């Protein structure tokens, strides 16, 4: 009765009426395989993200969650971030057509630096950007077996950057992908994609699988102007997975290539914004982005005569990104300060080589795992042909690490103590130790309490450690003579200068986390999972000012030959440092209920608070306010899955996110993004055993809303629009 009272008078009431109507219609209908699965079977999913071994979710001393292949299919998601929005406690926001901000427990941004993401155990975290470029992870959704998610630190096993969470995307094995699959999707906003998989047996024994995907999407509407933006996108991906038969072990080899073409606006900071609040924070520059790369991965697992389980994995990744456009805009008599326009082509090439070994031994009450890792990273920044960028282009780094992990059974089937640590030498931030200790108490077969204390670190990206940002102003007459531009003679123009800076003063970001949780399966039809956390952060990346501008127009403080003979300039210099602190705390709750064999309900709620320390520095406090407000305090999700007979499935999901605040291109004050409620629906028809047709609508309650505005790089704000799509999946 209490639940009904709370739902009454809200949009859920109409949904409840729909549910009653559906119940009256299909009470005698047969359920499908997914809804037939009991909760006991669902929590028996085994994953490796937290403990580097196969382990039931129910037996983990961590805030663990797994998304199955069937849940991915029923969600109708067209990208991995869309799927991740199903996970309680994850912060997922769409920035533009194919740009996403994904984080765990706060600090959300496009390049989320505190979340480690892997695909089949291979890290796709970019050390150049300190984050994941989600636009380049355009996977074949039908090829994903499951997604394993750990909210909270995983650094004791996976090392640097697994500060707030670990995500492992597991694709189907070649053996499980025999036959062919073709999927085609067509939707509003010029959305179109086609993907395929094909598997067969190898002549010498074993299996192989080919997979590929191509997709396009049109531009979104800009939030401020309401006009069509420039964020259209095109993606291509092609790969192969081999599982040849070998004596004494299991071998997997995987290789893929990809390309992403898209457009975006980047912002150039304006000097006057620091002295005049009415001045736009930055000028926008349209860029065409091309990201492409290739990856090869091999993994061999075997057992020794003594019972040891061994895994050796090696991978090689090479990617390249190029950003081309006109840097700078906003010139004119009404703009006393603007960025001098010039042709910009910048980007980078990156090569990662990784070798990882681990061994597991079970001796008595101890389940012990140890391992070694060696990682080589080489990058070459492609800088513009302009005097405004001064940064060493090439860099090479060698990181090596070791870990130990021991799960000790103190009381059989009741109490376990888990301890371990990662010992890591990072090429930028030095030597780091990342220990943790966890406890798991299971008073009954279907109930568990757990707690954990962990220390983790996040290493700096090279552009943080090796550069300062100088924002300068020049007389337009000098720039005209130097560049051939025809700017008003009485105008001052801003110039961005990046110069080398010693990185010895930068340390790794650090976090000390205390977590706890309780989960209970009350029956085969109802379960609850809860978690609490408190994290103290220190040595956070921040920025500080070296000098501040005077009010009004800046003074010319010096001359430099790098800008041309006798060109005088004003310099506003900032630098990166590690002195910021913050604290985050919150709670996450998820509930799963099967009221009928044909009806499954999944609901979750998460609460998050992030509080930083302010220094009084104008530039540093901007960043503190940005990460404090980057993720919603409240998130709620309610999903109903109906099996309407043997051949119809209906999925209805309601999601709520509270407000966030962000900096934008045209203001030094934060912009409030209002809370939004989204409704997604998908109806699928199993035409025959091998063919499924589906239609779905997303964001049905409102025609458009803004979810996120990025600050690094500063970009224009886009609205996410109501959309519809149809999809056909054929297997043969």
The string of DSSP codes covering 128-163 is TTTB--GGG----GGGEEEEEEEES--HHHH-TT-S
Look at residue 111 in the predicted model and tell me its pLDDT: 84
If one counts every other C-beta atom within 10 angstroms of the C-beta of residue 303, the result is: 13
Look at residue 267 in the predicted model and tell me its pLDDT: 60
Q: Which tokens belong to 593?
A: 């209920």
SS3 assignment, position 17 = helix
Q: Convert 165-188 to b/e letters by CB count within 10 Å (16 or more is b).
A: bbbbbbbbbbeebeeebebebebe
Look at residue 636 in the predicted model and tell me its pLDDT: 97
Q: Using an 8 Å Cβ cutoff, are 114 and 155 in contact?
A: no
Look at residue 584 in the predicted model and tell me its pLDDT: 97
Look at residue 401 in the predicted model and tell me its pLDDT: 95
Q: Write down the pTM of the prediction.
A: 0.85
Q: Convert 336-365 to b/e letters by CB count within 10 Å (16 or more is b).
A: bbbbbbbebbbbbbbbbebebebebeeeee
Look at residue 24 in the predicted model and tell me its pLDDT: 36
Domain boundaries, the chain: 31-731
The owner of tokens 């984080």 is 103
Q: Using an 8 Å Cβ cutoff, are 516 and 450 in contact?
A: yes
273: which residues sit within 8 A by CB, 6+ positions away?
Answer: 279, 280, 281, 282, 668
Paired strand residues for 236: 214, 259
SS3 assignment, position 563 = helix
Q: Which of 232, 197, 196, 234 lies closest to 215, judged by CA?
A: 234
Look at residue 503 in the predicted model and tell me its pLDDT: 41
* Separation in Å, CA 620 to CA 167, 497, 508, 543, 546: 30, 19, 18, 5, 11
SS3 assignment, position 274 = helix
Q: Which tokens belong to 95?
A: 């920035």
Rounded to 5 degrees, φ, ψ at 483 are -115, -15
How far apart (Å, rounded) are the C-alpha atoms in residues 206 and 241? 11
Which of the 8 DSSP states describes residue 228?
B
Look at residue 669 in the predicted model and tell me its pLDDT: 73
Q: Using an 8 Å Cβ cutoff, are 417 and 392 in contact?
A: no
Per-residue pLDDT tens for 402-437? Answer: 999 999 999 999 999 999 999 999 877 789 999 999
Look at residue 425 in the predicted model and tell me its pLDDT: 92
Q: Using an 8 Å Cβ cutoff, are 676 and 634 in contact?
A: no
Q: Using an 8 Å Cβ cutoff, are 521 and 44 in contact?
A: no
Helices marked H in 413-492 — which ranges?
462-465, 476-483
* Separation in Å, CA 536 to CA 455, 581, 628: 10, 8, 14
N-to-C CA span, the chain: 49
Q: Using an 8 Å Cβ cutoff, are 707 and 94 in contact?
A: yes
Look at residue 385 in the predicted model and tell me its pLDDT: 44
Q: Which of 590, 601, 604, 673 lies closest to 643, judged by CA?
A: 601
SS3 assignment, position 71 = helix
* Separation in Å, CA 686 to CA 193, 599, 644, 645, 729: 20, 18, 11, 10, 10
Find out whether the peptide bond into 478 is cis, omega within 30 degrees of 0.
Answer: no
SS3 assignment, position 8 = coil
How far apart (Å, rounded) are the C-alpha atoms in residues 358 and 650? 44
The string of DSSP codes covering 372-432 is EEEEEEEEEEE--SSTTB----EEEEEEEEEEEEEEEEEETTTEEEEEEEEEEEETTTEEE
Look at residue 31 in the predicted model and tell me its pLDDT: 39
Look at residue 719 in the predicted model and tell me its pLDDT: 92
SS3 assignment, position 40 = helix
Q: Which of 144, 197, 148, 118 lies closest to 47, judged by CA?
A: 148
Say if strands 568-596 and 467-475 run parallel, antiparallel, or are unpaired: antiparallel
How far apart (Å, rounded) are the C-alpha atoms in residues 632 and 614? 21
How far apart (Å, rounded) are the C-alpha atoms in residues 74 and 141? 11
pLDDT lower than 50: segments of the chain: 1-34, 36-40, 42-43, 269-282, 328-342, 385-391, 468-474, 479, 482-485, 487-504, 548-573
Q: Using an 8 Å Cβ cutoff, are 196 and 180 in contact?
A: yes
Q: What is the CATH number of domain 31-731?
A: 2.40.170.20
Paired strand residues for 578: 541
The string of DSSP codes covering 503-556 is -TT---EEEEEEEEEEEEEEETTEEEEEEEEEEEEEEEEEEEES--PPSSSPP-
How far apart (Å, rounded) are the C-alpha atoms in residues 56 and 54? 7
- Please enumerate, as own/partner, the contacts of 502-506 that have beta carbons within 8 Å and a separation of 24 or more: 503/428, 503/460, 503/465, 503/466, 505/577, 505/578, 506/428, 506/429, 506/460, 506/464, 506/465, 506/576, 506/577, 506/578
Look at residue 262 in the predicted model and tell me its pLDDT: 87
SS3 assignment, position 124 = coil
How far apart (Å, rounded) are the C-alpha atoms in residues 687 and 285? 48
Look at residue 483 in the predicted model and tell me its pLDDT: 44
Q: How open is the CA angle 408-409-411, to the nearest 5 degrees?
A: 145
Q: Which tokens belong to 114?
A: 């505190």
Say if strands 691-698 and 723-731 run parallel, antiparallel, or are unpaired: antiparallel
Q: Which tokens belong to 536?
A: 């103290």
Q: Which of 594, 588, 655, 657 lies closest to 150, judged by CA?
A: 588
Q: Which tokens belong to 166?
A: 């670990």
What is the arrangement of strands in the sheet containing 221-222, beginning at the earlier edge strand? 221-222, 718-721, 704-705
Using only C-alpha atoms, the chain has a radius of gyration, in whole angstroms, of 27
Q: Convert 578-603 to b/e letters by CB count within 10 Å (16 or more is b).
A: bbbbbebbbebbbbbbbebebbbbbb
Per-residue pLDDT tens for 657-673? Answer: 999 998 765 555 788 99
Helices marked H in 583-644 — which ranges?
618-628
């Amino acid at each position: 009765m209490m639940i009904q009272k709370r739902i009454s008078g809200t949009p859920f009431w109409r949904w409840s009426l729909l549910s009653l109507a559906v119940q009256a219609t299909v009470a005698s209908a047969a359920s499908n395989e997914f809804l037939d699965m009991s909760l006991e079977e669902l929590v028996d999913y085994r994953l490796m993200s937290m403990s580097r071994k196969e382990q039931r979710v129910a037996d983990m001393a961590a805030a663990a969650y797994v998304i199955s292949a069937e849940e991915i299919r029923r969600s109708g998601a067209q990208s991995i971030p869309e799927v991740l929005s199903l996970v309680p406690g994850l912060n997922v926001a769409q920035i533009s057509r194919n740009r996403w901000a994904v984080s765990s427990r706060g600090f959300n941004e496009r390049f989320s630096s505190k979340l480690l993401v892997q695909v089949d155990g291979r890290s796709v975290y970019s050390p150049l950007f300190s984050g994941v470029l989600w636009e380049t992870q355009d996977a074949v959704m039908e090829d994903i077996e499951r997604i394993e998610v750990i909210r909270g630190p995983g650094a004791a096993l996976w090392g640097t950057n697994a500060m707030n969470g670990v995500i492992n995307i597991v694709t189907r094995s070649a053996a499980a992908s025999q036959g062919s699959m073709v999927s085609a999707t067509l939707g509003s906003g010029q959305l179109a994609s086609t993907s395929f998989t094909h598997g067969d047996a190898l002549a010498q024994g074993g299996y192989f699988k080919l997979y590929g995907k191509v997709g396009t999407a049109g531009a979104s509407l800009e939030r401020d102007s309401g006009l069509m933006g420039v964020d259209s996108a095109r993606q291509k991906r092609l790969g192969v997975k081999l599982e040849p038969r070998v004596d004494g072990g299991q071998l997997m080899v995987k290789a893929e290539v990809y390309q992403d073409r898209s457009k975006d606006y980047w912002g150039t900071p304006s000097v006057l914004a620091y002295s005049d609040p009415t001045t736009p924070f930055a000028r926008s520059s349209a860029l065409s982005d091309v990201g492409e790369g290739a990856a090869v991965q091999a993994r061999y697992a075997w057992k020794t005569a003594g019972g040891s389980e061994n895994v050796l994995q090696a991978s090689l990744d090479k990617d390249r990104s190029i950003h081309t456009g006109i840097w700078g805009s906003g010139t004119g008599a009404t703009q006393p300060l603007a960025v001098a326009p010039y042709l910009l082509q910048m980007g980078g090439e990156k090569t990662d080589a990784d070798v990882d070994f681990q061994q597991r031994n079970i001796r008595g009450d101890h389940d012990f795992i140890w391992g070694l890792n060696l990682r080589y990273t080489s990058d070459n920044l492609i800088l513009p042909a302009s005097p405004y960028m001064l940064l060493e282009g090439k860099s090479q780094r060698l990181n090596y690490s070791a870990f130990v992990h021991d799960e000790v059974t103190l009381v059989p089937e009741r109490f376990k103590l888990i301890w371990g640590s990662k010992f890591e030498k990072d090429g930028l931030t030095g030597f780091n130790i990342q220990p943790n200790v966890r406890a798991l108490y299971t008073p009954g077969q279907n109930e568990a309490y757990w707690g954990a204390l962990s220390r983790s670190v996040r290493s700096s990206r090279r552009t943080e450690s090796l550069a300062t940002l100088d924002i300068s102003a020049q007389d337009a007459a000098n720039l005209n003579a130097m560049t051939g531009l025809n700017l008003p003679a009485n105008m001052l123009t801003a110039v961005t200068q990046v110069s080398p800076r010693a990185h010895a003063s930068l340390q790794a970001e650090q976090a000390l986390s205390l977590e706890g949780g309780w989960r209970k399966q009350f029956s085969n039809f109802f379960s609850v999972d809860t978690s609490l956390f408190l994290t103290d952060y220190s040595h956070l990346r921040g920025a500080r000012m070296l000098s501040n501008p005077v009010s009004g127009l800046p003074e010319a403080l010096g001359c430099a030959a790098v800008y041309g003979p006798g060109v005088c300039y004003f310099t506003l210099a900032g630098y990166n440092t590690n002195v910021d602190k913050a604290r985050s705390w919150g709670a996450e709750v998820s509930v799963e209920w099967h009221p009928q064999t044909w009806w499954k309900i999944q609901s979750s709620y998460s609460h998050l608070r992030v509080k930083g320390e302010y220094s009084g520095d104008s530039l540093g406090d901007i960043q503190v306010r940005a990460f404090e407000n980057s993720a919603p305090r409240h998130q709620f999700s309610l999903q109903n899955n109906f099996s309407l007979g043997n051949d119809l499935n209906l999925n209805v999901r309601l999601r709520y996110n509270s407000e966030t605040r962000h900096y934008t291109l045209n203001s030094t004050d934060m912009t409030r993004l209002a809370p939004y409620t989204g409704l997604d629906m998908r109806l699928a028809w199993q035409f025959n055993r091998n063919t499924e047709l589906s239609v779905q609508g997303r964001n049905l309650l409102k025609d458009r809303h803004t979810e996120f505005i990025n600050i690094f790089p500063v970009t224009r704000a886009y609205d996410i629009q109501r959309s519809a799509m149809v999809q056909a999946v054929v297997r043969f």
